[in-house]
């Protein structure tokens, strides 16, 4: 690529990132002074589970958590690490997902203090939620959101932090010293079928296609935003992009785990000779391959590695409030 082409590509990426930021939920909240999470700055690495909905994002996050745990546990046993496991801090800005529609204007109030308590106080006046949804959101502020804030407050300069966010959020790109972004993809029609099964879209299928196409375009936009962000800061940020079908074949699964593990040790500045990659891969295969990798309809606040049991499947789920039922 010549200099002119390189500058054009950089300008294109910059413009794209500007739009990504303008369209984000956190940007909408910040423009109104509404409470949002603040990314930790003094931590070793932030892992952002940003896979597309219904494309194995929970499984991807769980595999990464297992891989990082294995590496950190070995490092601590060898006296080279303070911590033996990553800190899972839940779904990023979880409180916004009941209010802000995917790719649509976010109906928020003009804040004064910008605190969580102020947000909770204004829940009753939010225009797009019914009484039951307002009660659920209020409860989430006292549980899920508070738990995430407590976990984030406990991290230190040696911590590896894991958060989940389908939506692009530029503020996470300044978190920690290094960043690993996990993205995933799946054939479009398979995503549609999966969403129909969960009640995110209503049967008959063809009648729901326009609605699905609209939200799928938003999800694809987030995927591109995360990918481009990693490319723009390749020294400190890497992206592991996982194809859904690679989870169904043992050889491709092992190859993806090895690629992921190499990214982790590169970002953590660990010499490859100090890590037994074959053992890391073997452990991941033993724990995660040929298991139900998405065992519950997690809300993203429970560590994927800890998710067990079967969740009730709601009769209908509004995809615009998918943050309360995230994959």
Per-residue pLDDT tens, the chain, 327 aa: give them. 443 333 334 334 444 777 888 778 899 999 999 999 999 989 999 999 999 999 999 999 999 999 999 999 999 999 998 999 999 999 999 999 888 877 777 889 999 999 999 999 999 999 889 999 999 999 999 999 999 999 999 999 999 999 999 999 999 999 999 999 999 999 999 999 999 999 999 999 999 999 999 999 999 999 999 999 999 999 999 999 999 999 999 999 999 999 999 999 999 999 989 999 999 999 999 999 964 554 433 455 666 655 433 333 233 233 333 333 345
Cβ neighbours of residue 199 closer than 8 Å, sequence gap 6 or more = 313, 314, 315, 316, 317
| Domain 13-325 classification at class level | alpha beta
Measured CA to CA in angstroms, residue 326 lies from 33, 159, 220, 290, 298 at distances of 26, 26, 16, 22, 6
pTM of the model: 0.86
Give CA–CA dist 293/200, Å, rounded.
20
The domain ranges of the chain are 13-325
């Amino acid at each position: 690529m010549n200099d002119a082409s390189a500058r054009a590509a950089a300008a294109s990426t910059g413009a794209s990132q500007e739009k990504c930021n303008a369209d984000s939920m956190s940007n909408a909240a910040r423009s109104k002074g509404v409470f949002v999470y603040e990314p930790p700055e003094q931590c070793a690495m932030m892992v952002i589970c940003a896979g597309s909905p219904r494309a194995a994002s929970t499984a991807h996050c769980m595999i990464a958590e297992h891989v990082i745990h294995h590496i950190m546990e070995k490092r601590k046993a060898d006296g080279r690490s303070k911590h033996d496991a990553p800190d899972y801090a839940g779904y990023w800005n979880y409180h916004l997902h009941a209010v802000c529609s995917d790719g649509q204007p976010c109906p928020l109030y003009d804040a004064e203090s910008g605190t969580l308590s102020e947000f909770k106080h204004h829940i009753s006046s939010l225009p797009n939620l019914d009484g039951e949804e307002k009660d659920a959101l209020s409860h989430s502020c006292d549980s899920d959101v508070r738990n995430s804030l407590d976990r984030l407050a406990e991290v230190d300069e040696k911590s590896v932090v894991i958060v989940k966010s389908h939506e692009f959020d530029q503020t996470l790109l300044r978190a920690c010293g290094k960043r690993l972004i996990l993205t995933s993809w799946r054939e479009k029609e398979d995503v549609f079928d999966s969403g129909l099964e969960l009640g995110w879209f209503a049967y008959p299928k063809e009648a729901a296609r326009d609605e699905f196409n609209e939200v799928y375009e938003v999800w694809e936009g987030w995927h591109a935003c995360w990918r481009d962000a990693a490319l723009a800061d390749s020294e400190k940020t890497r992206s592991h992009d996982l194809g859904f079908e690679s989870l169904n074949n043992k050889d491709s699964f092992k190859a993806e785990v090895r690629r992921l593990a190499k990214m982790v040790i590169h970002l953590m500045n660990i010499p490859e000779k100090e890590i037994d990659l074959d053992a890391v891969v073997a452990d991941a295969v033993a724990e995660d391959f040929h298991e139900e990798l998405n065992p519950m309809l997690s809300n993203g606040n429970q560590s994927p590695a800890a998710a067990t049991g079967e969740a009730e499947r709601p009769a209908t789920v509004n995809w615009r409030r998918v943050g309360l039922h995230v994959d």
